[in-house]
Structure 1
Amino acid sequence: MRKKIVAGNWKMNLTLAQGEQLINDILQAGLKLEEGQEVVVATPFPYLLKAKSLLKNYPGFYVAAQNCYSEKSGAYTGEVSAEMLQSIGVDYVILGHSERREYFQESNAMLAKKIDQVLANGLKPIFCCGEPLAIRQAETQNDYVAKQLEESLYHLTVEQLKNVVIAYEPIWAIGTGLTASSAQAQDMHAFIRSQIANKFGREAALHTSILYGGSAKPGNAGELFGCADVDGGLIGGASLVAADFVAIIQKLS
Structure 2
Amino acid sequence: MRHAIVAGNWKMHKTYAETHKLLDELIEKLPAGKEVEVIVAPTFTNLGSAVAHLEGTNIQVAAQNMHQAEGGAFTGEISAQMLKSVGVDIVILGHSERRQYFHETDAILADKVNTALRHDMRVIYCIGEELKDRESKQYLNVIFNQLKDGLFHLSKEQWKNIVIAYEPVWAIGTGMTASPDQAQEIHAFIRQEIERKYDKTVAENTSILYGGSVKASNAKEIFSKPDVDGGLIGGAALIADDFCTIVECC
TM-score bracket relative to the smaller structure: over 0.9
Q: Is the 8 A contact 1:136 1:172 kept in 2?
A: no
> Structure 2 vs 1, CA of residues 196 and 220 (structure 1 numbering), >3 Å: closer, same or farther?
same
Q: CA deviation at 1:177?
A: 4.4
Partner of 1:91: 89
* Alignment of 1:196 onto 2:187: no
Q: Answer with 170-179 or 204-213: which moved more.
A: 170-179
Partner of 1:23: 23
> Structure 2 vs 1, CA of residues 179 and 34 (structure 1 numbering), >3 Å: closer, same or farther?
closer
Task: Give unmatched runs, 5+ long, in structure 2.
Answer: none
* One-letter amino acid matched to 2:156: V
Q: CA deviation at 1:31?
A: 2.0
* Alignment of 1:108 onto 2:106: yes
Q: CA deviation at 1:91?
A: 2.5
Report the identity percentage.
50
Q: Is the 8 A contact 1:70 1:110 kept in 2?
A: yes
SS at match of 2:247: helix
Partner of 2:242: 244
Taking the aligned partners of 2:161 and 2:33, their CA distance within structure 1 comes to: 20
Aligned pairs, number: 250
> Structure 2 vs 1, CA of residues 173 and 18 (structure 1 numbering), >3 Å: closer, same or farther?
same
Match for 1:74 among 49, 72, 75?
72
Partner of 2:56: 57
Aligned-residue CA RMSD (Å) = 1.0
Taking the aligned partners of 1:217 and 1:97, their CA distance within structure 2 comes to: 19
Taking the aligned partners of 1:209 and 1:135, their CA distance within structure 2 comes to: 24
* One-letter amino acid matched to 1:210: I
Q: CA deviation at 1:205?
A: 0.4
Q: TM-score, normalised by structure 1?
A: 0.96
Task: Give unmatched runs, 5+ long, in structure 1.
Answer: none
Partner of 2:210: 212
* One-letter amino acid matched to 2:19: G
> Structure 2 vs 1, CA of residues 104 and 88 (structure 1 numbering), >3 Å: closer, same or farther?
same
Partner of 1:235: 233
* Alignment of 1:173 onto 2:148: no
* Alignment of 1:138 onto 2:152: no
* Alignment of 1:32 onto 2:13: no
SS at match of 1:75: coil
Q: CA deviation at 1:3?
A: 1.5
Q: Spell out, residue by residue over 1:158-201, the C-alpha distance to the aligned partner (whole angstroms, 9 max, x if none).
A: 01011100000011122334331000000000000111111111
Q: Which runs of 4+ in 1 moved over 6 A?
A: none
Q: Is the 8 A contact 1:62 1:91 kept in 2?
A: no
